[in-house]
Amino acid sequence: MLVIHVRSAALVVFRARNHIVVNAVVAGLVLALPFSVYGSHAPVAADAPPLALAASEVTDLPRASTVSRGATITPVTDTSTAVADDVRPIVHYTLDPADDLQKLSNFFHISAEAIAFSNGITDADLTNQKGREILIPPAEGALYAVKDGDTLESVSTRFKVESKAIMDYNRLYFEPEHFAPGQLIFVPGASVPGIRFIAIDTDAEAPDVTPTLAKAAPGAPQTAGRLAWPVAGTITQYFWAYHTGVDLAAPYGTGIGAAAEGTVVFTGYVAVGGLSVRIQHANGMETGYYHMGAIFVAPGTKVQKGTIVGTIGMTGVTTGPHVHWELKVNGVFQNPLNY
């Protein structure tokens, strides 16, 4: 019995000794931490001068220059402003005597109609507006000053766009105060009125618009008779799978006649095609005329077969003066020579 008590006492002493050893080791590690931070350096007294950093420890970072209180802080590095990709600035542009709407359209990649509407311009002749500052829309659409009584629905209906497009672009979800009377908003993709006369150069004049029939060049293929050739020119490219119309070359400034009686449904500048006119005819037919130098009609104009709607030009992507003549029947491209 005595042996058992002795063994129990020895076990208690052994366990206690282990706890003491472990505690001593932990305490030693804790006390050694400050020394590991300083490395080989001894702790610095509170009143001792600061240690100088070694050259290898100095990082050369750009810093602002310190100045006296109340003055401006000047950064050492250049600064720049980033603009979100989906928002472009409105450009304030001062008109020059040589400017016209088409030149501005080509330069800013915005249709002449969008520029004209956004600035209340009704006459394409800008020669008497030297020095006037106009606003260039940030994209294809319309700049519009909100008026009393306007609602998001009424504005979207007027410009034939979805109200969500106006909400998104102008951040109206988070800043509804932007849609208040007098505020300028941008309506992306807005449908705006056409311009009566658009010309590449200010010397261009509208020819006599007495209905005349454009005739085909000698030896050119004949049509079935429902459509007239828009110009007495030479075919330089026919209709095929990757060319949606027929190209007719003619001297610069030659009048372009409507292929049939109808109503003008579009005038303006389009990518690649340049200045263009589209006319709606009977039986689901629509003709288009592209790369024009001047336009003499506006949307809604009633034309007869052969009425001069514009002139041969070189707008858009083209290697020479010609008209790209297109035909759609019920919305599908067709060879106009077959009609």
229 pLDDT higher than 80: yes
- The structure tokens listed for 86 are 């989906």
* Closest of 92, 91, 98, 93 to residue 128, by C-alpha: 98
Superfamily (CATH H level) for 91-188: LysM domain (3.10.350.10)
What confidence tier does 272 reach under pLDDT thresholds 50, 70, 90?
confident
pLDDT band of 28, cuts 50, 70, 90: confident
Tell me the three state secondary structure of residue 333: strand
CATH no. of 198-338: 2.70.70.10
Question: Parallel, antiparallel, or unpaired: how do β-strands 141-145 and 184-188 relate?
Answer: antiparallel
Domain ranges across the chain: 91-188, 198-338
> Which has more confidence, 49 or 142?
142
Amino acid (one-letter) located at 247 = D
User: Which residues touch 174 (CB under 8 Å, ≥6 apart)?
Assistant: none
Mean pLDDT of 219-234: 69
Examine the pLDDT at 239 and tell me if it is beyond 50.
yes
* pLDDT higher than threshold 50 for residue 58: no
Q: pLDDT, tens digit, for every residue of 60-82?
A: 545 544 444 444 444 444 444 34
Cα–Cα distance, 75 to 65 (Å, whole number): 6
Confidence at residue 116, expressed as pLDDT on a 0 to 100 scale: 87
Residues 292, 268: Cα–Cα separation, whole Å: 10
Confidence tier at 10 by pLDDT (50, 70, 90)? low
Mean pLDDT rounded to a whole number for the chain: 75
Nearest of 290, 318, 273 to residue 230 by alpha carbon? 290
Q: Is the pLDDT of residue 278 over 80?
A: yes
For the ranges 22-36, 188-202, 315-329, the one whose mean pLDDT is highest = 315-329
Q: State the Cα–Cα distance between residues 251 and 320, nearest whole angstrom.
A: 9
Higher pLDDT, 94 or 42: 94
pTM above 0.75?
A: no
Q: How far apart are CA 114 and CA 140, in angstroms?
A: 7
Q: Which pair of tokens denotes residue 114?
A: 């969008």
Residue with the larger pLDDT of the pair 85 and 162: 162
Note the pLDDT of residue 316. 83
Q: Output the pLDDT for position 16.
A: 59
CA distance 21 to 27: 10
In this structure, how many other beta carbons lie within 10 angstroms of the beta carbon of residue 107? Answer: 11
75 CB-near residues (< 8 Å, 6+ apart) = 62, 64, 65
Which pLDDT value is given to residue 199? 45
**Residue 69 and residue 334: Cα distance in Å, rounded?**
76
Share of the chain above pLDDT 70, in %: 65
CB 293 within 8 Å of CB 312: yes
Give pLDDT, residue 30. 65
| Residue ranges with strand state E in the chain | 64-65, 74-75, 91-94, 133-136, 141-145, 184-188, 198-199, 234-237, 245-249, 255-257, 262-270, 274-280, 285-295, 302-303, 308-312, 322-329, 332-334
Whether 265 has a pLDDT exceeding 90, the answer reads: yes
Q: Residue 111: pLDDT above 70? A: yes
Grade residue 216 by pLDDT with cuts at 50, 70 and 90: very low
Query: Which of 28-32, 57-61, 238-242, 319-323 is the least confident region?
Result: 57-61
What mean pLDDT do residues 124-152 have? 88
Q: Is pLDDT above 60 for 209?
A: no
